[in-house]
């Protein structure tokens, strides 16, 4: 992996480094996906639905980071869904693993150079909205970028016009047409009864939120909270990709000081296992229509 630049005005990786990774992948698969799916905690089973699969471990890919989190397999899976070529990322990268913002988002620019034009991001999230139930699937309509408030934005530093413009718009980060298509697909699949639509807030983690923090996030208008997704979406939109975001509500956040409930990662994975089939059906049938 290329060493970090000592200058704050330069990108963590050069265009040539991203291209070297993309060229290596293009040489190792004949598939040319237009859709990429980033699988969140416990959601890597989405990739199991692909046919004609080619699995490439992250550790074998030049300059690619390696996932360290339980529930993240750590490989790219190229394949087809009813003839539609796509690539699934089984395991993403997070701040709390010790990675910087440019490493967290590294795969998204590689996808762009592979020719991907649509990014689907999934995650496991805590429900802040009192009307949400554990097991609900939330379509992300907007996000709150808390690390970005603190200056941790993947677009800080030198801007390479080959990826995108200096000041990209984020008011349309999650495309309405894709959300409408997802709602239609959910209705056809019988999943609309537990489909929500709301605002996702990202915190850096790895600690789950305090009660006071959850109350603040509710006041800010967040419906769900997690530790990923937003940086990847920012980079995808910078490159002109269409984006659809889906959060699986795996736990209800604690907002009552009298409560004995506690959030934990094992609970997150158990909930994902219960709802993963529905989410897989939704995403797979959606990809075919895009």
Among candidate residues 20, 63, 97, 175, the one labeled active-site is 97
> Is 15 one of the catalytic residues?
no
Among candidate residues 13, 18, 72, 143, the one labeled active-site is 72
Among candidate residues 94, 102, 143, 238, the one labeled active-site is 94
DSSP reduced 3-state for 181: helix
Six-digit token string for 256:
């009552």
Phi–psi pair at 3, nearest 5 degrees: -65, 150
> Is 36 one of the catalytic residues?
no
With CA atoms as reference, report the closest residue to 172 among 105, 242, 116: 242
> Is 131 one of the catalytic residues?
no
> Is 251 one of the catalytic residues?
yes
> Is 89 one of the catalytic residues?
no
Q: 24-50 as b/e, with b when 16 or more CB fall inside 10 Å?
A: bbeeebebebbbbbbbbbbbbbbbebb
How far is the C-alpha of 57 from the C-alpha of 59, rounded, in Å?
5
Among candidate residues 67, 251, 284, 285, the one labeled active-site is 251
- Going by their DSSP bridges, the two strands 84-90 and 75-81 should be labelled as antiparallel
How far is the C-alpha of 97 from the C-alpha of 268, rounded, in Å?
18
Among candidate residues 227, 232, 236, 239, the one labeled active-site is 227
> Is 228 one of the catalytic residues?
yes
> Is 227 one of the catalytic residues?
yes
Among candidate residues 22, 36, 41, 106, the one labeled active-site is 41
How far is the C-alpha of 227 from the C-alpha of 237, rounded, in Å?
19
Among candidate residues 124, 182, 222, 224, the one labeled active-site is 124
Among candidate residues 63, 175, 263, 265, the one labeled active-site is 265
Among candidate residues 123, 145, 228, 247, the one labeled active-site is 228
Residue appearing with tokens 């600690």? 207
Six-digit token string for 36:
């990429």
CB atoms within 10 A of CB 15: 14
How far is the C-alpha of 183 from the C-alpha of 186, rounded, in Å?
5
With CA atoms as reference, report the closest residue to 242 among 19, 34, 31: 34
DSSP reduced 3-state for 243: strand
> Is 266 one of the catalytic residues?
no
> Is 247 one of the catalytic residues?
no
> Is 265 one of the catalytic residues?
yes
Residues with a known catalytic role: 41, 72, 94, 96-97, 124, 227-228, 251, 265
């Amino acid at each position: 992996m290329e060493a970090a630049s000592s200058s704050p005005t330069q990108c963590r990786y050069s265009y040539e480094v991203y291209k070297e990774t993309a060229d290596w992948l293009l040489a190792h698969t004949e598939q040319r996906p237009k859709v990429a799916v980033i699988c969140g905690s416990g959601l890597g089973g989405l990739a199991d639905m692909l046919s004609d699969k080619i699995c490439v471990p992250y550790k074998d890919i030049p300059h690619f980071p390696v996932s360290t989190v339980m529930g993240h397999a750590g490989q790219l899976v190229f394949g087809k869904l009813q003839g539609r070529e796509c690539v699934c990322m089984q395991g993403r990268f997070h701040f709390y693993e010790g990675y910087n913002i440019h490493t967290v988002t590294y795969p998204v620019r590689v996808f762009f150079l592979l020719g991907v034009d649509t990014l689907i991001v999934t995650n496991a999230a805590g429900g802040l909205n009192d009307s949400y139930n554990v097991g609900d699937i939330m379509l992300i309509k907007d996000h709150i970028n808390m690390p970005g408030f603190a200056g941790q934005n993947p677009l800080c530093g030198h801007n390479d016009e080959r990826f995108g413009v200096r000041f990209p718009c984020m008011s349309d980060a999650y495309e309405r047409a894709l959300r409408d298509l997802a709602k239609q697909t959910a209705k056809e699949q019988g999943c609309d009864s537990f489909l929500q639509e709301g605002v996702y807030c990202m915190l850096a983690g790895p600690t789950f939120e305090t009660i006071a923090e959850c109350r603040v996030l509710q006041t800010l208008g967040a419906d769900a909270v997690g530790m990923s997704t937003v940086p990847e979406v920012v980079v995808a939109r910078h490159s002109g990709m269409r984006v659809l975001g889906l959060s699986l509500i795996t736990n209800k956040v604690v907002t009552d000081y009298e409560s004995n409930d506690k959030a934990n990662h094992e609970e997150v994975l158990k909930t994902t296992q219960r709802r993963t089939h529905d989410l897989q059906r939704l995403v797979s049938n959606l990809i075919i229509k895009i």
